[in-house]
Structure 1
Amino acid sequence: MLYVVASPDLMTAAATNLAEIGSAISTANGAAALPTVEVVAAAADEVSTQIAALFGAHARSYQTLSTQAAAFHSRFVQALTTAAASYASVEAANASPLQVALDVINAPAQTLLGRPLIGNGADGSTPGQAGGPGGLLYGNGGNGAAGGPNQAGGAGGNAGLIGNGGAGGAGGVGAVGGNRGTGGLLFGNGGAGGQGGLGLAGINGGSGGQGGHGGNAILFGQGGAGGPGGTGAMGVAGTNPTPIGTAAPGSDGVNQIGNGGNTDLTGGAGGDGNAGSTTVNGGNGGTGGAARNSSGGTGNSFGGAGGAGGDGANGGDGGAGGEALTEGGATAVSGAGGKGGNAEASGGAGGNGGKGGFAQATTSVTGGNGGNGGNGHDSNAPGGAGGSGGVGGDGGRGGLLAGNGGTGGAGGNGGTGGAGAPGGAGGAGRKADIANSLGDNATVTGGNGGTGGDGGSALGTGGAGGAGGLGGHGGAGGLLIGNGGAGGAGGLGGAGGAGGAGGEGGAGGAGGEAIPGGASTNSAGGDGGAGGTGGNGGDGGAGGAPGLGGAGGAGGWLIGQSGSTGGGGAGGAGGAGGAGGAGGSGGAGGHGDTTSGKNGSSGTAGFDGNPGQPG
């Protein structure tokens, strides 16, 4: 009986389960009683009657035995329930005097020295709070609490005469891990150091926090293990600036409206959009003035050209060309769309070209060309470097007389570099509008679509990966007897960031349609505009350097071996080169009954960036 353990909770649960089983068996026996006790004979002959009587007798015997078994089961469950209650009562009676006696012993020491004689120290309960010390005679130190943001983890509490030191708490974001508690003066191991906090951009350069050091043993005991270093923060992605405003647009051209006169009409040109800067978008170009001459006159009509978009952080859009309409005149030439402005800020987009104007006359009709798109600007915003991994904490020293040193903490891994910013997209070329004739034997020519702008290249590389953290040193073994602790492994270098993508080339505008209004008309559709060239992708960032392993601790003077040096971490992979920007699609040629326009050629894609060097 020396090794018998009684658990009141388990005994009570077992009694409950047994009671449920007994109830289920009793229910089943009751259901089977009637059909088995009163067995009907298969026939009226003597043999059938005797067989039925035999089965009925067996059933009655079974019911008698079942009743006796149920009574025994009930008494057993009652005995088990009573025993559980008795054990619980005895435990409560025994615990109360012991706890009272322990409180009496600890009270003076707690009042005078702030720690009990016997008992474990309290764990830290608020961020960064240290663990309480263990009892002076016997007890483990409490564990330190994890730190809040940019706050070190709490230190582990120290043991007294006999006991283990408490473990240090993990460091908060960007902070070091808590140091360990010291082992007992006579017997006890040192506590483990807390893990370093994760790196955070803007705090300590994004480096991971250092791991806490392992606790030392005093006379007999093992040194505590050092805490691992925290992982470095990921580098911030390169970001192109956001413009803070837009320059004023150009004024619209003056419309010229005739009422059947014989004078030619010319719409005013739209004003160019005002130039912006590297922080202000360019203004949009003004719309070209219309020239409209109603029936009864012979005057020709010429639409005004749209104004060019202003250059700026993002280029302004070109203005639409003015329409040219004449019902009695022979010739109508609509205005061309304005060119989109070029981007000037890092990664800025080029402006779109303006639409060519609509044209209509009796004899000669020419639609205005669509405006060309502006060029996107190169980006020069590199990705941020990843933070370095935190250094691993050193292992604690073994006991002075005997004990092994603690292992050093592993170095933290370096953070991944941020991606470079993309190049700016080229502006789209715009389509030419319809050219329409009203009379027979007319010549109708659709305008050409505008050319797409070129995309900007990504000049900023991906950010470099952070270096792996150094492994912590192994703790020394006991002065007389004990092996030195192994050094911690070095952290892995962070991967380099990806290069920025090149900006896409702008699409070419569609050519204008030439629609004849009478017989024997020569109609030629306009050609589609060519797509812009895509920008080149940026180079990937270099991988982070590997962390070196920590040195092993020295062995004891009489008996003991030195600890092994920790293995070095692997270098980080280089970042992928950014993808080259796609070339813009060519514009479709305009339809003409005599000749349709040619489709514009697609732009050439940019080159992919080079991958970064591995660490």
Structure 2
Amino acid sequence: MSSVWVTPEIIDSATTELMTIEAAVNAANAIAAIPTVQIPAAGADEVSAAIATLFGRYASGYQALGEQAQAFHARFVQALAASAASYAGAEALNAAALGPLNDLLNLINLPTELLLGRPLIGNGTNGAAGTGADGGAGGLLFGNGGSGGSGGGIHPAGGRGGAAGLFGNGGAGGAGATGGVGVNGGVGGTGGNGGWLFGNGGAGGVGGDAPTGFGGLGGAGGQAILLGAGGVGGAGGLGSTGGGIGGAGGWGGLLAGNGGAGGAGGGASTAGNGGAGGAGGNAWLIGDGGAGGAAGAATAPAATGGLGGTGGGGGSGGLLFGNGGSGGAGGSSAAGGTGGTGGFGGNAGLIGAGGAGGSGGLGGGHFSETGGAGGNGGAGGWVFGNGGAGGAGGDALAQATGAGGAGGVGGNGGGARLLGDGGVGGAGGTGGRADGAGDAGGAGARGGRGGPGGWVFGNGAAGGRGGDGGSAATGPGGTGGAGGGGGSTTLIGDGGDGGSGGNGGSGTPDGSTGAGGAGGVGGLLFGSNGTVG
């Protein structure tokens, strides 16, 4: 059944307006009746008398219809007024019925509020905007923490989110204030902790932007206590001279719960480096690690020489069961800086897969800078689980003048421990294209090594493909990168195949193809060796 929302005050206002309209129409009808109902004949002849009689009849019919419309209008207004009174009476009855419950709740909360300044049941109050005030704590039994107030004035940092009691979620941290002239952005507030028995941690506040300074740090996510997920870290602020670092994700609950994802790093808009991504939160016994935050980029062409930020590392999986979090991507550099390194993948506990490494950022298009290296994959579980894949290396951007930059090295795949397959190595980044006369294209990067298989059983993983060499307008093409070696295994399983070498870039002459990676060694008891890439 659909719900109907009614406001008695609005119905009362509409009733008054309709009564005003009714009065105006009645007055107009009365004024029109005098000259129209009894129209004198224009002359003494029969035709004039007939015309006057005809118009008089029309006027009398109009007045009769007007009286019927007036009666209908009056009944409609009466019904509308009665409905408004009914709705108002129902609200009064509901308020009277809920009054004892509210009184009872106030009575229950009174002792703890007097002794501890905190209700037994209820949500915490939110911090006021622009004050950086902390959010209030939730009820000792039930209730969420209040959100922290945003920063401002003499308190540029965002307020901390309020903590929950036994059951409830932590409040979100407040956003940092925007920095003034020559002032950095405010730090985002930390998220509040979740309930002692059940509840998620609050999200960290966003770091403040800074038009003429460094972006503010993102706030860390709140922690879960027993059961619940950690809060997400706040993003770093955008800064003209450097981006803010993203906040770390909160840890999951002691018994079960995933770690929170790390916040993204802030970008650098004019100069300086992009902010690093925040680390993903860890899990305790059961749960997945949080993903690392993506790094900020050095975005503007004026950010010459600025480096892309490093991606945040993935959180570790639960000690009993859980996968490692994936690493964050490295930040890109728009002009003349090295791309950021991808974050490493988180390790698993006893059972679970390792997290994938983050990809490297793009290298800037000046000064022959290189792409960022891919992050290494996390290790699989101690008993069972596959290793995480290595992140791909970042490509180098084209060069208007000068030799092309080299691509970023691919990340190594994570290894399995007892039972499981290794993670695939990341591909190497492509070398930069050289557009200047006689300039050489950049070299492709080496692919990452494949992760080893489990000690008892499991296959080694394939190595990553080498990056292609960069092309050149009139100079020599870049050399292709070598393929990564395949992962080996110990007792039972096949070795991984080596990655193929990257193609040489076109030019005068063309670049040479990269060497293939060596195959991994198969198991001592059973298994074959991997092939050369």
TM-score range, shorter chain: 0.5 to 0.7
Classify 1:56/1:207 alpha carbon distance in 2 versus 1 (closer, same or farther; 3 Å). Answer: closer
The count of aligned residue pairs is: 331
Asked if the contact 2:131/2:155 (under 8 Å) is kept, the reply is: no
Asked if the contact 2:15/2:77 (under 8 Å) is kept, the reply is: no
Corresponding position: 1:8 with 2:11: no
Q: CA deviation at 1:68?
A: 1.3
Asked if the contact 1:37/1:59 (under 8 Å) is kept, the reply is: no
Q: Which amino acid aligns with 2:170?
A: G
Classify 1:70/1:415 alpha carbon distance in 2 versus 1 (closer, same or farther; 3 Å). Answer: closer
Corresponding position: 1:568 with 2:326: no
> Aligned partners of 2:100 and 2:294: how far apart in 1?
51
Q: Which amino acid aligns with 2:15?
A: A
The equivalent position to 1:395 in structure 2, one of 232, 249, 261, is 249
Which deviations, in whole Å up to 9, do the C-alpha atoms of 1:30-79 show, x marking residues without a partner? 45545664467798348657744642442232023023123213322431
Asked if the contact 1:41/1:51 (under 8 Å) is kept, the reply is: no
Classify 1:64/1:7 alpha carbon distance in 2 versus 1 (closer, same or farther; 3 Å). Answer: closer
User: 1:5-404, aligned counterparts within 5 Å?
Assistant: 5-23=5-23, 25-27=25-27, 29-30=29-30, 33-34=33-34, 37-38=37-38, 44-45=46-47, 48=51, 51-52=54-55, 54-94=57-97, 96-125=99-128, 127-147=131-151, 148=153, 152-172=157-177, 173=179, 174=184, 175-198=186-209, 206-232=213-239, 234=240, 386=241, 388-400=242-254, 403-404=257-258
The equivalent position to 1:474 in structure 2, one of 280, 300, 319, is 280
> Aligned partners of 1:564 and 1:475: how far apart in 2?
11
Q: CA deviation at 1:141?
A: 0.9
Q: CA deviation at 1:91?
A: 4.8
> Aligned partners of 1:66 and 1:569: how far apart in 2?
73
Q: CA deviation at 1:479?
A: 4.3
Which deviations, in whole Å up to 9, do the C-alpha atoms of 1:259-279 show, x marking residues without a partner? xxxxxxxxxxxxxxxxxxxxx
Asked if the contact 1:496/1:543 (under 8 Å) is kept, the reply is: no
TM-score by length of 1: 0.46
Classify 1:176/1:47 alpha carbon distance in 2 versus 1 (closer, same or farther; 3 Å). Answer: closer
1:110 match: secondary structure: helix
Higher strand share: 1
> Aligned partners of 1:27 and 1:398: how far apart in 2?
74
> Aligned partners of 2:116 and 2:107: how far apart in 1?
15
Q: CA deviation at 1:394?
A: 1.6
Q: Which amino acid aligns with 2:296?
A: G
Partner of 2:422: none
The equivalent position to 1:408 in structure 2, one of 258, 262, 272, is 262
Higher relative contact order (CA 8 A, sep 6+): 1
Classify 1:131/1:73 alpha carbon distance in 2 versus 1 (closer, same or farther; 3 Å). Answer: same
User: 1:495-510, aligned counterparts within 5 Å?
Assistant: 495=300
> Aligned partners of 2:322 and 2:20: how far apart in 1?
62
Q: Which amino acid aligns with 1:15?
A: T
Q: CA deviation at 1:21?
A: 4.5
Classify 1:568/1:150 alpha carbon distance in 2 versus 1 (closer, same or farther; 3 Å). Answer: farther
Asked if the contact 2:29/2:63 (under 8 Å) is kept, the reply is: no
Structure label with greater radius of gyration: 1
Classify 1:543/1:144 alpha carbon distance in 2 versus 1 (closer, same or farther; 3 Å). Answer: same
Alpha-carbon RMSD: 3.9
> Aligned partners of 1:65 and 1:495: how far apart in 2?
74
Q: CA deviation at 1:224?
A: 1.9
Structure 1: segments with no counterpart, 5+ residues: 235-385, 417-464, 498-540, 576-609
Q: CA deviation at 1:129?
A: 3.0
Partner of 2:513: none
2:46 match: secondary structure: coil
> Aligned partners of 1:473 and 1:32: how far apart in 2?
82
Asked if the contact 1:12/1:84 (under 8 Å) is kept, the reply is: no
Partner of 2:313: 551
Classify 1:107/1:479 alpha carbon distance in 2 versus 1 (closer, same or farther; 3 Å). Answer: same
> Aligned partners of 1:44 and 1:561: how far apart in 2?
105
Classify 1:11/1:47 alpha carbon distance in 2 versus 1 (closer, same or farther; 3 Å). Answer: closer
